[in-house]
Amino acid sequence: MRARAAVLAEVKKPLEIWELEVDAPKEGEVLVRVVAAGVCHSDLHYIQGDLETPLPAIPGHEGAGVVEAVGPGVTRFRPGDPVVFVFRAFCGHCFYCLNGRPALCDFSNPIRRTGRMFDGTTRFHRNGTDVHHVLGVSCFAEYTVVPEQGLLSLPPDIPLDRAALVGCGVTTGVGAVLFAAGVRAGETVLVIGCGGVGLNVVQGAALVGAGPVIAADVVPQKLEWARQLGATHTIDPREQDVVEVVRELTGGRGADYAFEVIGRADTIQQAYAATRKGGTTVIVGLTPMGTTVPLDPLDLLRTEKTIKATLYGSANLPRDIPRLLELYRLGRLRLDELISRRLRLEEINDGFEAMLAGSVARSIVVFEH
Protein backbone atom coordinates (compact mmCIF):
# COMPACT_ATOMS: atom_id res chain seq x y z
CA MET A 1 0.00 0.00 0.00
CA ARG A 2 1.01 3.63 -0.28
CA ALA A 3 1.33 6.11 2.57
CA ARG A 4 2.69 9.58 3.21
CA ALA A 5 5.32 9.99 5.88
CA ALA A 6 7.63 12.65 7.34
CA VAL A 7 11.13 11.46 6.50
CA LEU A 8 14.47 12.43 7.98
CA ALA A 9 16.67 12.25 4.88
CA GLU A 10 19.62 14.19 6.28
CA VAL A 11 20.44 15.48 9.77
CA LYS A 12 19.99 19.16 10.55
CA LYS A 13 17.43 19.46 7.71
CA PRO A 14 13.64 19.71 8.03
CA LEU A 15 11.64 16.51 7.65
CA GLU A 16 10.40 15.88 4.10
CA ILE A 17 6.99 14.52 3.19
CA TRP A 18 7.51 11.45 1.04
CA GLU A 19 5.02 9.13 -0.56
CA LEU A 20 6.15 5.60 0.27
CA GLU A 21 5.33 1.99 -0.44
CA VAL A 22 4.51 0.20 2.80
CA ASP A 23 4.86 -3.59 2.81
CA ALA A 24 2.31 -5.92 4.33
CA PRO A 25 3.18 -7.02 7.88
CA LYS A 26 5.36 -10.13 8.03
CA GLU A 27 5.49 -12.83 10.73
CA GLY A 28 4.75 -11.33 14.14
CA GLU A 29 4.21 -7.81 12.77
CA VAL A 30 1.24 -5.46 12.75
CA LEU A 31 0.22 -2.78 10.23
CA VAL A 32 -1.20 0.21 12.10
CA ARG A 33 -3.20 3.14 10.71
CA VAL A 34 -1.71 5.99 12.70
CA VAL A 35 -4.29 8.43 14.09
CA ALA A 36 -2.16 10.78 16.21
CA ALA A 37 1.57 11.30 16.79
CA GLY A 38 3.13 13.62 19.36
CA VAL A 39 6.09 15.83 18.47
CA CYS A 40 8.63 14.94 21.17
CA HIS A 41 12.05 16.41 21.84
CA SER A 42 13.65 12.98 21.33
CA ASP A 43 12.64 13.15 17.65
CA LEU A 44 14.39 16.51 17.47
CA HIS A 45 17.53 14.86 18.87
CA TYR A 46 17.56 12.60 15.77
CA ILE A 47 16.92 15.53 13.45
CA GLN A 48 19.74 17.52 15.01
CA GLY A 49 22.06 14.52 14.96
CA ASP A 50 22.43 14.42 18.76
CA LEU A 51 21.22 10.83 18.58
CA GLU A 52 22.11 8.59 15.64
CA THR A 53 19.84 6.38 13.60
CA PRO A 54 20.24 4.91 10.09
CA LEU A 55 18.85 7.27 7.39
CA PRO A 56 16.64 7.95 5.53
CA ALA A 57 14.20 7.18 8.30
CA ILE A 58 10.76 7.95 9.64
CA PRO A 59 10.88 9.32 13.21
CA GLY A 60 7.89 9.56 15.55
CA HIS A 61 7.66 7.34 18.61
CA GLU A 62 4.75 8.80 20.62
CA GLY A 63 1.56 7.73 18.92
CA ALA A 64 -1.68 5.82 18.78
CA GLY A 65 -3.76 4.32 16.02
CA VAL A 66 -5.91 1.45 14.88
CA VAL A 67 -4.75 -2.00 13.75
CA GLU A 68 -5.26 -2.30 10.01
CA ALA A 69 -3.85 -5.79 9.40
CA VAL A 70 -1.83 -8.42 11.23
CA GLY A 71 0.93 -10.67 9.92
CA PRO A 72 1.13 -14.46 10.37
CA GLY A 73 1.40 -15.62 13.98
CA VAL A 74 0.05 -12.44 15.57
CA THR A 75 -2.37 -13.47 18.30
CA ARG A 76 -2.82 -10.42 20.52
CA PHE A 77 -4.28 -7.99 18.00
CA ARG A 78 -7.01 -7.89 15.37
CA PRO A 79 -7.95 -5.33 12.72
CA GLY A 80 -9.93 -2.51 14.31
CA ASP A 81 -8.17 -2.65 17.72
CA PRO A 82 -7.12 0.75 19.11
CA VAL A 83 -3.45 0.64 20.12
CA VAL A 84 -0.69 2.80 21.55
CA PHE A 85 2.93 2.38 20.42
CA VAL A 86 5.64 1.59 22.95
CA PHE A 87 9.06 2.75 21.81
CA ARG A 88 10.84 -0.08 23.63
CA ALA A 89 9.11 -3.20 22.29
CA PHE A 90 9.52 -5.88 24.97
CA CYS A 91 9.46 -9.68 24.81
CA GLY A 92 7.42 -10.19 27.98
CA HIS A 93 9.40 -13.14 29.37
CA CYS A 94 13.07 -12.18 29.91
CA PHE A 95 14.64 -11.26 33.27
CA TYR A 96 13.76 -7.57 32.91
CA CYS A 97 10.21 -8.15 31.71
CA LEU A 98 9.55 -10.61 34.55
CA ASN A 99 10.92 -8.04 36.99
CA GLY A 100 8.49 -5.40 35.80
CA ARG A 101 11.11 -3.46 33.81
CA PRO A 102 10.11 -4.00 30.16
CA ALA A 103 11.88 -0.85 28.96
CA LEU A 104 15.19 -2.56 29.83
CA CYS A 105 14.35 -5.63 27.70
CA ASP A 106 16.89 -6.26 24.93
CA PHE A 107 14.33 -7.70 22.51
CA SER A 108 14.07 -4.70 20.21
CA ASN A 109 17.75 -3.64 20.29
CA PRO A 110 18.38 -4.94 16.73
CA ILE A 111 15.50 -2.90 15.32
CA ARG A 112 16.68 0.26 17.08
CA ARG A 113 20.29 -0.27 16.05
CA THR A 114 19.72 -1.17 12.39
CA GLY A 115 16.46 0.66 11.65
CA ARG A 116 15.29 -2.63 10.15
CA MET A 117 12.90 -5.34 11.25
CA PHE A 118 14.25 -8.61 12.67
CA ASP A 119 14.65 -10.16 9.21
CA GLY A 120 17.00 -7.34 8.22
CA THR A 121 14.58 -5.64 5.82
CA THR A 122 12.46 -2.49 6.12
CA ARG A 123 8.73 -2.19 5.46
CA PHE A 124 9.06 1.29 3.92
CA HIS A 125 10.50 1.99 0.44
CA ARG A 126 10.65 4.75 -2.12
CA ASN A 127 11.62 3.98 -5.71
CA GLY A 128 13.50 0.89 -4.60
CA THR A 129 15.33 2.66 -1.75
CA ASP A 130 14.76 1.37 1.78
CA VAL A 131 13.45 3.87 4.30
CA HIS A 132 14.35 2.95 7.88
CA HIS A 133 12.32 2.52 11.03
CA VAL A 134 13.13 4.62 14.11
CA LEU A 135 12.82 3.00 17.54
CA GLY A 136 10.68 0.36 15.85
CA VAL A 137 7.73 2.78 15.78
CA SER A 138 8.00 5.40 12.97
CA CYS A 139 4.58 6.90 13.59
CA PHE A 140 5.14 10.10 11.59
CA ALA A 141 3.49 8.09 8.82
CA GLU A 142 -0.09 7.41 7.79
CA TYR A 143 0.62 3.71 8.14
CA THR A 144 3.45 1.96 9.93
CA VAL A 145 4.52 -1.64 10.58
CA VAL A 146 5.74 -2.64 14.04
CA PRO A 147 6.46 -5.88 15.90
CA GLU A 148 3.40 -6.90 17.94
CA GLN A 149 5.54 -6.54 21.08
CA GLY A 150 5.68 -2.80 20.33
CA LEU A 151 1.95 -2.26 20.85
CA LEU A 152 -0.44 -2.18 23.79
CA SER A 153 -4.20 -2.35 23.47
CA LEU A 154 -6.20 0.71 24.42
CA PRO A 155 -9.61 0.84 26.01
CA PRO A 156 -12.19 1.97 23.41
CA ASP A 157 -13.25 5.15 25.24
CA ILE A 158 -9.92 7.02 25.28
CA PRO A 159 -9.49 9.54 22.42
CA LEU A 160 -6.45 8.47 20.42
CA ASP A 161 -4.74 11.88 20.43
CA ARG A 162 -4.76 11.86 24.23
CA ALA A 163 -3.68 8.20 24.32
CA ALA A 164 -0.75 9.02 22.03
CA LEU A 165 0.82 11.21 24.71
CA VAL A 166 0.85 8.28 27.10
CA GLY A 167 3.11 6.48 24.61
CA CYS A 168 6.04 8.70 25.66
CA GLY A 169 5.79 12.04 27.45
CA VAL A 170 3.16 11.24 30.06
CA THR A 171 4.52 7.84 31.03
CA THR A 172 8.10 9.15 31.08
CA GLY A 173 7.26 12.20 33.19
CA VAL A 174 4.62 10.87 35.56
CA GLY A 175 6.48 7.56 35.78
CA ALA A 176 9.70 9.33 36.81
CA VAL A 177 7.85 10.48 39.93
CA LEU A 178 5.70 7.43 40.66
CA PHE A 179 7.89 4.54 39.57
CA ALA A 180 11.51 5.76 39.35
CA ALA A 181 11.66 8.07 42.37
CA GLY A 182 8.65 6.87 44.37
CA VAL A 183 7.92 10.38 45.67
CA ARG A 184 5.52 10.48 48.64
CA ALA A 185 3.11 13.09 49.98
CA GLY A 186 4.85 16.04 51.60
CA GLU A 187 8.23 15.41 49.97
CA THR A 188 9.86 18.31 48.16
CA VAL A 189 10.35 18.26 44.42
CA LEU A 190 12.27 20.40 41.93
CA VAL A 191 11.60 20.02 38.21
CA ILE A 192 14.09 21.68 35.84
CA GLY A 193 12.60 21.96 32.34
CA CYS A 194 8.82 22.11 31.91
CA GLY A 195 8.29 20.97 28.33
CA GLY A 196 6.09 18.10 27.22
CA VAL A 197 7.87 15.69 29.57
CA GLY A 198 8.68 18.06 32.46
CA LEU A 199 5.06 19.19 32.79
CA ASN A 200 4.23 15.56 33.38
CA VAL A 201 6.83 15.35 36.12
CA VAL A 202 5.08 18.35 37.67
CA GLN A 203 1.65 16.77 37.42
CA GLY A 204 3.00 13.47 38.75
CA ALA A 205 4.43 15.29 41.78
CA ALA A 206 1.09 17.01 42.35
CA LEU A 207 -0.72 13.69 41.95
CA VAL A 208 1.20 12.06 44.81
CA GLY A 209 0.80 15.11 47.06
CA ALA A 210 4.39 16.32 46.99
CA GLY A 211 5.07 19.86 48.15
CA PRO A 212 6.51 22.26 47.55
CA VAL A 213 6.65 21.37 43.87
CA ILE A 214 9.10 23.84 42.39
CA ALA A 215 9.21 24.21 38.60
CA ALA A 216 12.04 25.92 36.70
CA ASP A 217 11.98 26.93 33.04
CA VAL A 218 13.34 29.79 30.95
CA VAL A 219 9.99 30.32 29.18
CA PRO A 220 7.35 32.12 31.28
CA GLN A 221 4.44 30.36 29.50
CA LYS A 222 5.87 26.99 30.59
CA LEU A 223 5.88 28.20 34.18
CA GLU A 224 2.23 29.23 33.80
CA TRP A 225 1.35 25.73 32.55
CA ALA A 226 3.41 24.22 35.38
CA ARG A 227 1.33 26.16 37.92
CA GLN A 228 -1.87 24.96 36.24
CA LEU A 229 -0.65 21.38 36.54
CA GLY A 230 0.22 21.67 40.22
CA ALA A 231 3.53 23.47 40.72
CA THR A 232 3.40 25.47 43.97
CA HIS A 233 6.41 27.65 43.08
CA THR A 234 8.12 28.59 39.84
CA ILE A 235 11.58 29.86 39.00
CA ASP A 236 12.85 31.58 35.88
CA PRO A 237 16.59 30.73 36.02
CA ARG A 238 17.40 33.87 34.04
CA GLU A 239 16.11 35.96 36.93
CA GLN A 240 16.75 33.87 40.01
CA ASP A 241 19.32 31.36 41.17
CA VAL A 242 17.60 27.96 41.09
CA VAL A 243 19.69 26.38 43.85
CA GLU A 244 19.26 29.36 46.16
CA VAL A 245 15.50 29.56 45.74
CA VAL A 246 15.11 25.81 46.24
CA ARG A 247 17.14 26.01 49.48
CA GLU A 248 14.98 28.91 50.72
CA LEU A 249 11.84 26.90 50.06
CA THR A 250 13.12 23.72 51.74
CA GLY A 251 14.43 24.88 55.11
CA GLY A 252 17.89 25.52 53.68
CA ARG A 253 18.36 21.86 52.77
CA GLY A 254 17.58 21.44 49.09
CA ALA A 255 14.93 19.26 47.45
CA ASP A 256 14.23 15.65 48.39
CA TYR A 257 14.03 14.97 44.64
CA ALA A 258 15.42 17.11 41.82
CA PHE A 259 14.40 16.07 38.29
CA GLU A 260 16.34 17.21 35.23
CA VAL A 261 14.02 17.08 32.21
CA ILE A 262 15.99 18.84 29.48
CA GLY A 263 19.10 16.78 28.79
CA ARG A 264 21.90 19.27 29.43
CA ALA A 265 25.09 18.82 31.44
CA ASP A 266 24.75 22.21 33.19
CA THR A 267 21.18 21.63 34.35
CA ILE A 268 22.03 18.11 35.52
CA GLN A 269 24.72 19.71 37.72
CA GLN A 270 22.19 22.28 38.85
CA ALA A 271 19.72 19.54 39.81
CA TYR A 272 22.44 17.75 41.78
CA ALA A 273 23.39 20.97 43.58
CA ALA A 274 19.73 21.60 44.45
CA THR A 275 19.29 18.09 45.90
CA ARG A 276 19.43 17.86 49.70
CA LYS A 277 21.84 15.59 51.57
CA GLY A 278 20.49 12.06 51.28
CA GLY A 279 18.15 13.18 48.50
CA THR A 280 17.90 11.99 44.93
CA THR A 281 18.77 13.62 41.61
CA VAL A 282 16.77 12.06 38.80
CA ILE A 283 17.93 12.38 35.18
CA VAL A 284 14.97 12.25 32.79
CA GLY A 285 16.25 14.31 29.83
CA LEU A 286 18.29 12.65 27.07
CA THR A 287 21.69 14.28 26.67
CA PRO A 288 23.35 14.39 23.23
CA MET A 289 25.60 11.37 22.68
CA GLY A 290 29.03 11.85 24.25
CA THR A 291 27.91 14.31 26.92
CA THR A 292 29.68 13.85 30.25
CA VAL A 293 29.05 15.42 33.63
CA PRO A 294 31.85 15.71 36.21
CA LEU A 295 31.29 13.78 39.42
CA ASP A 296 32.99 14.63 42.71
CA PRO A 297 32.91 11.31 44.59
CA LEU A 298 33.96 12.97 47.85
CA ASP A 299 30.99 15.32 47.67
CA LEU A 300 28.74 12.41 46.78
CA LEU A 301 30.03 10.48 49.77
CA ARG A 302 29.78 13.36 52.21
CA THR A 303 26.27 14.25 51.09
CA GLU A 304 25.02 10.69 50.53
CA LYS A 305 23.05 11.87 47.54
CA THR A 306 21.70 9.38 45.02
CA ILE A 307 21.94 10.06 41.31
CA LYS A 308 19.61 8.01 39.23
CA ALA A 309 18.21 8.03 35.75
CA THR A 310 14.95 6.81 34.35
CA LEU A 311 14.08 5.33 30.98
CA TYR A 312 10.40 5.44 29.96
CA GLY A 313 9.47 6.51 33.50
CA SER A 314 10.76 3.14 34.79
CA ALA A 315 7.20 2.01 34.12
CA ASN A 316 5.97 -1.55 33.97
CA LEU A 317 4.34 -0.63 30.67
CA PRO A 318 1.51 -3.19 30.35
CA ARG A 319 0.52 -2.56 33.96
CA ASP A 320 1.11 1.17 34.16
CA ILE A 321 -0.16 2.53 30.84
CA PRO A 322 -3.71 1.27 31.63
CA ARG A 323 -3.31 2.73 35.14
CA LEU A 324 -2.40 6.15 33.79
CA LEU A 325 -5.34 6.04 31.38
CA GLU A 326 -7.64 5.19 34.28
CA LEU A 327 -6.30 8.21 36.20
CA TYR A 328 -7.12 10.32 33.14
CA ARG A 329 -10.64 8.89 33.03
CA LEU A 330 -11.09 9.75 36.70
CA GLY A 331 -9.91 13.31 36.14
CA ARG A 332 -6.74 12.84 38.22
CA LEU A 333 -4.35 13.07 35.30
CA ARG A 334 -4.61 15.83 32.75
CA LEU A 335 -3.98 15.08 29.11
CA ASP A 336 -6.28 17.49 27.26
CA GLU A 337 -4.39 20.50 28.58
CA LEU A 338 -1.05 19.14 27.34
CA ILE A 339 -2.01 19.43 23.66
CA SER A 340 -1.31 23.02 22.67
CA ARG A 341 -1.57 22.52 18.97
CA ARG A 342 -2.85 20.02 16.41
CA LEU A 343 -0.99 19.79 13.10
CA ARG A 344 -1.44 18.15 9.73
CA LEU A 345 1.47 15.95 8.63
CA GLU A 346 2.61 18.67 6.19
CA GLU A 347 2.97 21.07 9.14
CA ILE A 348 5.19 18.81 11.19
CA ASN A 349 8.28 21.02 10.95
CA ASP A 350 6.23 23.85 12.48
CA GLY A 351 5.77 21.55 15.48
CA PHE A 352 9.55 21.34 15.96
CA GLU A 353 9.94 25.07 15.47
CA ALA A 354 7.24 25.73 18.06
CA MET A 355 9.02 23.35 20.44
CA LEU A 356 12.29 25.25 19.99
CA ALA A 357 10.51 28.58 20.37
CA GLY A 358 8.92 27.32 23.58
CA SER A 359 5.38 28.16 22.47
CA VAL A 360 3.83 24.71 22.97
CA ALA A 361 3.54 22.10 25.72
CA ARG A 362 3.05 19.44 23.04
CA SER A 363 2.01 19.63 19.43
CA ILE A 364 0.44 16.60 17.93
CA VAL A 365 0.09 15.47 14.34
CA VAL A 366 -3.43 14.29 13.60
CA PHE A 367 -3.82 12.21 10.45
CA GLU A 368 -6.79 12.67 8.15
CA HIS A 369 -7.48 9.32 6.58
Q: Would you tell me which residues interact with ligand APR (CB under 6 A)? A: 40-42, 45, 172, 192-198, 216-219, 222, 237, 261-263, 267, 284-286, 355, 358
| Cα dist from 264 to 71, 101, 193, 197, 238, whole Å | 41, 26, 10, 14, 16
- Catalytic residue ranges: 40, 42, 45, 61, 168
| Closer to ligand APR by Cβ: residue 144 or 310 | 310
| Closer to ligand APR by Cβ: residue 122 or 234 | 234
For position 7 contacting Zn ion by CB under 5 A, the verdict is no
H or E stretch covering 45: helix 41-48
Query: Which residues from 56-95 bind Zn ion, rule CB under 5 A?
Result: 62
For position 262 contacting Zn ion by CB under 5 A, the verdict is no
Contacts of 26 (CB under 8 A, 6+ apart): 71, 72, 117, 119, 123
In the complex, least distance from residue 264 CB atom to ligand APR, rounded to whole angstroms: 6
What CA–CA distance (Å, rounded) separates 295 from 121?
42
What CA–CA distance (Å, rounded) separates 250 from 357?
32
Q: Find the helix packing angle between 265-273 and 242-249, rounded to 10°.
A: 30
For position 122 contacting Zn ion by CB under 5 A, the verdict is no
In the complex, least distance from residue 286 CB atom to ligand APR, rounded to whole angstroms: 4
In the list ligand APR, Zn ion, none, the entry touching 261 (Cβ below 5 to 8 angstroms by class) is: ligand APR
For position 360 contacting Zn ion by CB under 5 A, the verdict is no
| Closer to ligand APR by Cβ: residue 7 or 338 | 338
In the complex, least distance from residue 126 CB atom to ligand APR, rounded to whole angstroms: 28
Amino acid at 128: G
3-state secondary structure of 54: coil
In the complex, least distance from residue 276 CB atom to ligand APR, rounded to whole angstroms: 20
| Closer to Zn ion by Cβ: residue 168 or 360 | 168
Amino acid at 13: K
| Closer to Zn ion by Cβ: residue 87 or 107 | 87
H or E stretch covering 349: helix 348-357
**Of 179, 163, 211, 209, nearest in space to 65 by CA:** 163
Amino acid at 248: E
What CA–CA distance (Å, rounded) separates 306 from 277?
9
Query: Which residues from 16-45 bind Zn ion, rule CB under 5 A?
Result: 40, 42
Give me Rg for the CA atoms of the chain: 20
In the list ligand APR, Zn ion, none, the entry touching 198 (Cβ below 5 to 8 angstroms by class) is: ligand APR
Amino acid at 165: L
114 phi and psi angles, rounded to 5 deg: -95, -15
Question: For the window 133-172, what string marks contact with Zn ion as x by the rule CB under 5 A?
Answer: -----------------------------------x----
What CA–CA distance (Å, rounded) separates 85 from 343?
19
For position 53 contacting Zn ion by CB under 5 A, the verdict is no
In the list Zn ion, ligand APR, none, the entry touching 63 (Cβ below 5 to 8 angstroms by class) is: none
Count of residues that bind Zn ion according to CB under 5 A: 4
In the complex, least distance from residue 365 CB atom to ligand APR, rounded to whole angstroms: 14
What CA–CA distance (Å, rounded) separates 163 from 155?
10
In the complex, least distance from residue 207 CB atom to ligand APR, rounded to whole angstroms: 18
In the list ligand APR, Zn ion, none, the entry touching 205 (Cβ below 5 to 8 angstroms by class) is: none
DSSP 8-state code for residue 180: I
Binding site for Zn ion (CB under 5 A): 40, 42, 62, 168
